[in-house]
Chain A
Amino acid sequence: MACAQELHVLAVDDSHVDRKVIERLLNISCCKVTAVESGRRALQYLGLDGEKSSMGIDGLKVNLILTDYSMPGMTGYELLKKIKESSALSKIPVVIMSSEKILPRIDRCLEEGAEEFLLKPVKLSDVKRLRDFILRGEGDDDKETEKKINEVCSRKRKFQDDSTTQPMPTSLGTAHDIESSPESSVSSESQPPQSKQTKIG
């Protein structure tokens, strides 16, 4: 099944292992990925000044930001706040990932405007649901916004009711890996498969 539309996801995680995995998950789900290792790098990529639109410094519009919560320097929550405070960037959906299911943390993130909170390790099914949600949301209208708000609220309640539930992802990401290591380049390394999608085997 070929994907009709490619989303561009900015993935933020200080773990090299997790960056590679999330990049692969997003590539398989027909998303372009830009993977960075910190909140600072993410903001750099997005352009710190509020004048620019939601484009990366390479001109690619970012459709979704998928960030780890626990990172040195700037946490995912702090990154979320900065994005939501920026007039240019606030419309970009942000999803938080964490290996720890701490309800107050989840609440805080959702209240700050995160679309969803995913438990790590993130699965392919999570990413696909995320992508589908974002695709539905692109070209957003008021009815969709209201629907999303309702979904977030019911998810919050679901978290509080059931401590064993894996959250349903609310929204969704291929790309080039721009880490700080000197040998990495900004040009595309990983591209999604052209005509095929999903799993093999």
Chain B
Amino acid sequence: MERNNHLRRQVANLRQSLFDQGYLDDQFIELEELQDDVNPNFVEEIVTLFYKDSARLIHSIDQALEKQPLDFTKLDNYMHQFKGSSSSIGAKKVKIECTQFSEYWRAGNVEGCKRTFQQLKREYVVLRKKLEVYFQYARQAGPTETASCRPN
């Protein structure tokens, strides 16, 4: 159907822009390659788990940053978890902020940590919105071939 082809093109463009704009990296493609007819929504399921984990971690880090004195071990653990899960789904910009946070933490730069965390939350929100739109369109368009093109 012409309409469906048009929709599929939109989905493909949406997907490509996520890579082009640096929101996602190769790991996302690795996950896509794990999808099949029996598990057609695997990536979305994993990403949904990521949202759940992220919400919990953001809340924990927010609270931890309010405490005096700061519990650096806890903060480091939370951020390690956040970096891990964002790496596992290919959330490139979020992962970069996690790395930046760790660098400020190692340098003992509390203000840097707090600033970076605000940026991290912003990146997370943007990514989540974009992915939600993408998956919504993808579901409408129906199953497609796994993309073979790699991002630049």
Contact = CB atoms under 8 A, between A and B. Distances in A.
Contact of A201 (B35, B49, B83): B35
Given A15-B84, A123-B30, A200-B146, A20 B36 contact: no
Interface in B73-103: 77, 80-81, 83-85, 87-89
Interface in A61-96: 70, 72
Contacts of A121: 27, 30, 87-88
A72 B46 CA distance: 22
Contacts of A24: 34, 39, 42
Contacts of B107: none
B37 interface: yes
Contacts of A17: 46, 49-50, 53, 84-85, 88-89
B1 interface: no
Interface in B12-60: 27, 30-39, 42, 45-46, 49-50, 52-53
A25 interface: yes
A72 B77 contact: yes
Nearest to B52: A16
Nearest to B80: A70
Contacts of B32: 201
B145 interface: yes
Contacts of A72: 77
Contacts of A123: 30
Contacts of A193: 36, 38
A120 B33 contact: no
For chain A, which range describes its interface: under 10, 10 to 19, 20 to 34, or 35 or more residues?
20 to 34
B37 A200 contact: yes
A99 B34 CA distance: 20
A17 B32 CA distance: 15
A121 B28 CA distance: 11
A105 B27 CA distance: 24
Contacts of B30: 121, 123-124
Nearest to B144: A201
A173 to B, nearest CB: 15
Nearest to A196: B36
B42 to A, nearest CB: 6
Interface in A183-201: 193, 199-201
B73 to A, nearest CB: 11
Given A21-B88, A199-B33, A15 B53 contact: yes
A179 to B, nearest CB: 12
B124 to A, nearest CB: 14
B46 A200 contact: no
Contact of A21 (B31, B35, B80): B31
Contacts of B39: 24
Interface in B122-152: 145-146
Interface of A: 14-18, 20-21, 24-25, 28, 70, 72, 99, 120-121, 123-124, 193, 199-201
Given A21-B46, A99-B87, A123-B30, 7 more contacts: A15-B84, A72-B77, A99-B83, A121-B87, A199-B146, A200-B35, A201-B146
The 3 closest A-B pairs by CB, nearest first: A201-B146, A200-B36, A17-B85
